[in-house]
Amino acid sequence: MSRLTRILFFTAIAVAGQALAHAHLKSSVPADKASIASPGELDLSFSEEVNLKFSGVKVTGPEKKSVKLGDGMLMDGDKTLMVPISGKLAAGQYTVEWHVLSTDGHKTNGSYSFTVTP
């Protein structure tokens, strides 16, 4: 293997390793674009363990009103962030914005939406 080929090979491995080290959202309840009755909690499942102290969720509903949430907790080996919803949600579209810090120190964030049916 030439020197340039070795350098490119090890660079590709390093980049791939960094990409795999981030906590990515694997699934959520409610799911993205779901139409459901008012949920009692949000469950966000990630590809690796997250640090609760530096992770959080913000939910906005119809007319961009903020939804009151309870304190989050970790489940499933610290890979699922569960956040209780305080009270019943009115019908309409809701946006969930999340941010997490994986236990290896990488930050990720994202958003998704769901609709509460009457």
Span 5-31, pLDDT tens digits: 555 454 544 444 444 568 999 999 999
Q: Average pLDDT of 38-57?
A: 98
pTM greater than 0.75: yes
Average pLDDT over the chain reads: 89
Say if residues 74 and 94 touch (Cβ distance below 8 Å): no
Whether 107 has a pLDDT exceeding 90, the answer reads yes
